[in-house]
Amino acid sequence: MIVNEKVALEHGLKKDEYKKICELLERTPNITELGIFSAMWNEHCSYKSSRLHLKNLPTKGKQVIQGPGENAGVVDIGDNDAIVFKIESHNHPSFIEPYQGAATGVGGIMRDIFTMGARPIANLNSIHFGSPQHKKTKNLLRGVVHGIGGYGNCMGIPTLAGQTSFDSSYNGNILVNAMTLGLVKKDKIFYSKAAGLNKPVIYVGSKTGRDGIHGASMASASFDEKIEEKKPTVQVGDPFTEKLLLEACLELMSGDSIIAIQDMGAAGLTSSSIEMASKGNLGIEINLNNVPTRETLMTPYEIMLSESQERMLIVLENGKEEEAKKIFDKWDLDFAIIGKTTKSKKIELFFDNNKVADIPVNILVENSPMYDRKWKKAKLPKKIKIKKKEINNLKIVDVLKKILSNPNVCSKEWIWQQYDHTVMGDTIQKPGGDSGVVRVHGTNKAVAATVDSSAVYCWAHPLTGGKQVVCESFRNLVSVGAKPIAITNCLNFGSPENEENMGEFVECVKGIGEASAYLKFPVVSGNVSFYNQTKEVGIKPTPAIGGVGLIKDYQKMITMDLKKVDNIVLVIGKTEGHIDQSIFARNILDEKNGPPPEVNLFNEKNNGETLLKLIDAELVESAHDVSLGGIITSVSKMCIKGNKGLNLKKPKYLISDIEYFFSEDQGRYLIEITKENYKKVIDILNKNAVHFDELGIINEDQLYIDEKSKITIDELKSSNTTWLNNYMSN
Amino acid sequence: MKSSVITFPGSNCDRDMDVALKKFGFQNKMVWHNDIDLPKSDLVVLPGGFSYGDYLRCGSMASKSKIMKSVINFANSGGMVMGICNGFQILVETGMLPGVLLRNKYLEFICKNVFVKIKNKQNIFFKNIDNEILELHIAHNEGNFFCTNDQLKEINDNEQIAINYCNENGKIEDQFNPNGSIENIAGILNKKKNVLGMMPHPERMIDKYLSGEDGSLFFNNLINNIK
């Protein structure tokens, strides 16, 4: 096939990028080489629009062992234990084929984790769908949930926590972000950097088929009406083979024969081989005839661009081939020596005794395009003047019921009951709490994890929204008694070629950076997903933050269910009455304008750290952060979980009842304490200059609101649990 | 007391079972599916998971594994065999237990706590348990027990039903049946009562920080019964 500019454009490359390729090679690339360039230089693999901004993120910290740039980030949790974790998007494939798209998203992120030598111990996910009324939403939700469960359940890794939202901006572009945590010994971490000459390059796992060819390029383009034609670019997952691959890799890793290991994810054999060569400053030579293939007559182009799942590339020590092969034979997996490391610093491919590609590695990696895209700064919207009269006529109980049954607030049990969340026998906090918690097997430690996003806030003001998501992640960890360690981010945005979308990206990243630097909550891994748009319409900016924290003594873990009648509930943090962009404003008043709640990083840090002190001193019975729907929504969830009521009294504030109960001011928590500990708790809060209100006393079964109105816990529960069940069964 | 847990390709509750058995005093050995001989055991456990991916009928590939010949011989000579979840499916596929396990009625994987009522205490697995009702945990996609009317009659006549799904008060009704099983069956025994298959996972309920502790009750009782 003749390569020219037209063919290059069909591969998703831009005119000037094609020109640059010809200049760097000093010749026209052949079709295999062009395919390799298109795979390496697309947005998904090259981060060409985002690199410039991502490098400003804080990535270092006392506990950080490995920051961005490897398969996943690694943090130290003491006693020679480390946690490896990362979040990744699989948005485009999941919209085209929800089951396989979501399943292979989960499979891909788990591979990233065990590639580093870690056994996966928890999966999380952040999934976002269009309006519930949209004709595709129900099937997409069902397909994605089945896909996530189908893969994770079979692998035997608990799906611990997640987040689901609905918003019409995702009608044509759903988001599926999958996160995995793995546990590894600090001195047994594996990296992707090749080293040494003439070392055998080994291919293990599934055979290579024609599925997923150009998957990464597809994920770097917008959708249009021809989207159905892209189905063949979606990979097909086989969790059983991945389970075998996991066990075989960990078995091989317990020895000392591996120099470098890299999974074949986006852009398959192409990116894995180039990555290993580039990091090791070496060349790699591959004989493509030795690659195990599933179909006959596959061309070098197809072999290099296939995104077949469950495959790994390993650089072995010389002489260890037989020993390694034995392990993969035991697990019935393919094992093939397909090449070797060379000093050429080139990627050289052979097929039927012909050289079919010959590219210097640095051209593909260091010389890949980087753009300083134009972007537009977002103004902070003006505050909306809420008509007091309008809201004073509302009955709090009615509003509360409506908010509890809102698709974005309601219980997601229908979803997480389909995920095995207890396998491995260490799950001590199930989905539905502030964070999921698993014990570090055989120790007193536990790891907490949460995934969060606030697209509405980010859309209203990206800088504030970016900060807010990091703070929310921090709060969700603190609420279970975990000390926040680090985050991973999945940055889902529209087209970087659109100045407004690019502006949203730049400012969200800036906000994430500011908050994570202030909270000493560094970013250790992540992924960018652009072009989440159909035709010209992009999604709301949706950076998803995956947070990880440590509980040193798991017996001190906190849950959100109210524990005992007569205990006291306090609100930590000040309530200013910020209604704009709240679920109350958007769903009750139908008001979509105004700024998101302000983020005060000092208060976030101080309030969170003070709460951790209280928890450590065993003065807290239950805790929950205040988020969507404000104080009353959050306390209702504590009531529902604990099957207890509360005599709720609004403190004498200047703001109205509605503002006090439904505003979404940041930096707040609800905590339950005993009467005996009241004085001790107040002293600590005062000493640390933390504002608090007394909210009420726990009772058997009713939520009383200022003695003016009441609702039973059963009613609250049914408001909270019926929507999703009904929606999915109709 | 000696136990053996068989690991098939795709088993994923094998480690959890190992942890549980050891916690309650068994000397446990892990046995690879391709082995021919069983180590000397008082109890053999087929753990949960997705053996061979369950791409064919669940458990059918594993039922033809090399080690299964020894497991069948062991059971035929009176040895105690217990299959949990996928292990139950494998036992059914070998014919050691009657019936089949179909997909859950609502076609969805279910992971949650359930209550079961012990129907038959005249066997080594459940005798001496004081409780009538246990809170256990299920996590499966194919736990819908089904059999022919003749088989069902035989199962009942021989008192082979071990546990039924119920509510916290022990009421066995359709609404407390999570997966559509005939007569709310959650676990059954063979005629000789030395082979037990059940969908719930007692190994996930072995300390108070987990979903519950009734698994501890089960294992404690089990090891005392075998002694």
3-class secondary structure per residue, A253-322: HCCCCEEEEEECCCCHHHHHHHHHHHHHCCEEEEEHHHCCECCCCCCHHHHHHCCCCCEEEEEECCCCHH
Select from A331, A422, A557 the Cβ nearest to the Cβ of B137.
Answer: A422
Residue A250 in contact with partner chain B when CB distance is under 8 A: no
A385 confidence band (pLDDT: 50, 70, 90): confident
CB contact under 8 A, A239 and B50: yes
CA distance A158 to A122: 5
List the single residue in B with minimal CA-CA distance to A242: B10
**Residue from A148, A153, A331, A447 whose CB has the most chain B CBs within 10 Å, to mutate:** A153
Residue A151 in contact with partner chain B when CB distance is under 8 A: no
CA distance A471 to A54: 19
What's the confidence (pLDDT) of residue A223?
A: 67
Which of the residues A11, A44, A92, A128 is marked catalytic? A44
Residue A421 in contact with partner chain B when CB distance is under 8 A: yes
- Domains of chain B, start order: 2-226 (3.40.50.880)
Max alpha carbon distance in chain A (Å)?
86
Work out the minimum CA distance from B76 to partner chain A, whole angstroms: 30
B88 confidence band (pLDDT: 50, 70, 90): very high
- Mean pLDDT estimate for chain A: 95
Q: What is the mean pLDDT of residues B154-179?
A: 97
With H, G, I as helix, E, B as strand and everything else as coil, classify residue A195: coil
Interchain CB contacts (distance < 8 Å): A and B: 84
Which residues does chain A have within 8 Å of residue B87's beta carbon, measured at their own beta carbons? none
Query: For A222-226, A480-484, B126-130, B167-171, which range has the lowest pLDDT when averaged over its residues?
Result: A222-226
The tokens of B149 are what?
A: 């009317």
- A586 Cβ partners below 8 Å, 6+ apart? A456, A592
A578 is catalytic: no
Work out the minimum CA distance from B34 to partner chain A, whole angstroms: 9
Residue A722 in contact with partner chain B when CB distance is under 8 A: no
List the single residue in B with minimal CA-CA distance to A330: B34
Select from B20, B108, B111 the Cβ nearest to the Cβ of A422.
Answer: B111
pLDDT at A515 over 90: yes
What's the confidence (pLDDT) of residue A228?
A: 66
List the single residue in B with minimal CA-CA distance to A421: B111
With H, G, I as helix, E, B as strand and everything else as coil, classify residue B100: strand
Which class for B102: exposed (0-12), middle (13-18), buried (19 or more C-beta within 10 A)? middle
What's the confidence (pLDDT) of residue A227?
A: 64
CB contact under 8 A, A420 and B211: no
Q: What is the mean pLDDT of residues B31-56?
A: 96
Residue A602 in contact with partner chain B when CB distance is under 8 A: no
CA distance A231 to A226: 10
What's the confidence (pLDDT) of residue B33?
A: 97
Summarize pLDDT for B187-216 with one digit per residue, the tens: 999 999 999 999 999 999 999 999 889 999
Computed on alpha carbons and rounded to an integer, the radius of gyration of chain B in Å comes to 16
The percent of residues above 70 in pLDDT, for chain A, comes to 97
Which residues does chain B have within 8 Å of residue A419's beta carbon, measured at their own beta carbons? 109, 111
What's the confidence (pLDDT) of residue B123?
A: 95
A11 is catalytic: no
Q: Classify the complex by whether its ipTM is higher than 0.90, answering yes or no.
A: yes
What's the confidence (pLDDT) of residue A652?
A: 85
User: CA–CA distance from A213 to each of A234, A238, A364, B36 (Å)?
Assistant: 8, 17, 19, 43
Q: What is the mean pLDDT of residues A58-66?
A: 97
CB contact under 8 A, B12 and A554: no
What's the confidence (pLDDT) of residue A387?
A: 74
pLDDT at A391 over 90: no
CB contact under 8 A, A555 and B203: no
